[in-house]
Amino acid sequence: MASGYIQKRSETCWIARIEHISNGRRRYFSKTFRTEKEAKTHLQNQQSAKNNGEFVEPSRVTVSVLIDEWLETIRPRVTQRTADGYQGLLDRYVRPELGAIRVNQLETRDIQRLYAAMQSQKSLSARIVRHTHATLRQVLEQGVEWRLIARNPADSLKRKLPKVDEVERRVLNEVEAAGFLKACADNRRGLIFEFALLSGMRPEEYLALQWRDLNFERNTAQVRRALVRHKGSWRFQEPKTKGSKRSVTIPVSLNRKLAAHKRSQAEHRLRIGSEWQAHDLVFCSEFGTPLSIPNLTYRYFRPILTTANLQRIRLYDLRHSHATLLLAADEHLKVVSERLGHSTIRLTADTYSHVLESMQQGTASKLENMLYGT
């Protein structure tokens, strides 16, 4: 049973007090508001929650404490890099402004003011604000599950978040791709980038590729793991999604180059002897250890782009170029989605909608020629 009342303390101070009986014990919970209307609304909401069995007793747990407890529960379920990313966002942006507030006293407007300050005072991008919101929302949702709060105050802000401007994705067209491959042939690390373009794999996937993943008879490469670097260390982990574990067919000419690369690597391994670290990697350093994406990008990838007179793109954009070239060649969307390891065809369609739109125009022309003979 819950009952209560509101009391005026001053022109700008109203107290809403609710009585709650639990396990035979009578307790009173009070909250201060600036207007009578706010106090009445709070009292009505609390009474309604009590009547519906959704009443949550106020807790002294602060946002900062909830963050710590949430991070403890999330770490076993995500990668260390992901967990550290969550903690970085929360420590940098949320704790300083909201950490000392009790969870049950946190209001939507408090969170909204935080996001506004992130943009106006710190000039942070819309993408960072959205990532912070997604993380904070998970923290507060845990508070709901633990019955520290009755509702998630971040839920209603989804439509009020700043819009992320779409960045035009830079990819290689057919002519540029041919020039890129020609430049790769003259670079000592060129085979890595040729493989990236022709396989469509993510960098962390082909840098974790082992010789046992290649089938030279079937011209296939199997994605079984991903390379993860974090704070100076590295390790292998499961691929990004369930669909990321896949078999990718590769061109015969590339298959031959890989076979030659294997022979060359074996000869090098014999020359350096005990200095070699046996990780069975297809693409590795001179001592068999994994390569790093920044090192590959600055020392080898960008010089290749310069040699080929191409605009600067990211290493990851070779994957986008792969997909775009296939779609432009009328390859079926499902096949492209499977090669990329996307979880759904919808994801592939959304990611490459610009290519599909141009293909639609070509389809309309084909129908006109077929039916109207023009």
Answer whether residue 231 shows pLDDT above 80: no
Put simply, whether the predicted model's pTM sits higher than 0.85 gets the answer no
Which residue has better confidence, 149 or 315? 315
Percent of the chain with pLDDT over 90: 59
Q: What's the pLDDT score for residue 305?
A: 97
Which of 30-39, 50-59, 119-128, 170-179 is predicted least confidently?
50-59
CA distances 177 to 174, 180, 183, 304, Å, are 5, 5, 10, 12
Answer whether residue 25 shows pLDDT above 80: no
Long-range contacts of 118-121 (CB under 8 A, 24+ apart): 118/93, 119/162
By the 8 A CB rule, do 221 and 209 touch? Answer: yes
Answer whether residue 285 shows pLDDT above 80: yes
Q: What's the pLDDT score for residue 16?
A: 86
Give the torsion through C-alpha atoms of 69, 70, 72, 74, to 10 deg: 170
Q: What's the pLDDT score for residue 278?
A: 92
Answer whether residue 45 shows pLDDT above 90: no
Give the confidence band of 60 by pLDDT, cuts at 50, 70, 90: confident
First CA to last CA across the chain, in angstroms? Answer: 79
Specify the DSSP element, H or E, that contains 336: helix 333-340
Radius of gyration for the alpha carbons in the chain, expressed in angstroms and rounded: 29
Helical axes 252-272 vs 190-199, angle rounded to 10°? 140
Q: Considering the chain, what is the average pLDDT of its residues?
A: 88
Give the confidence band of 357 by pLDDT, cuts at 50, 70, 90: low
Q: What's the pLDDT score for residue 1?
A: 42
Q: What's the pLDDT score for residue 374?
A: 57
Residue type, 309: N
Give the confidence band of 78 by pLDDT, cuts at 50, 70, 90: confident
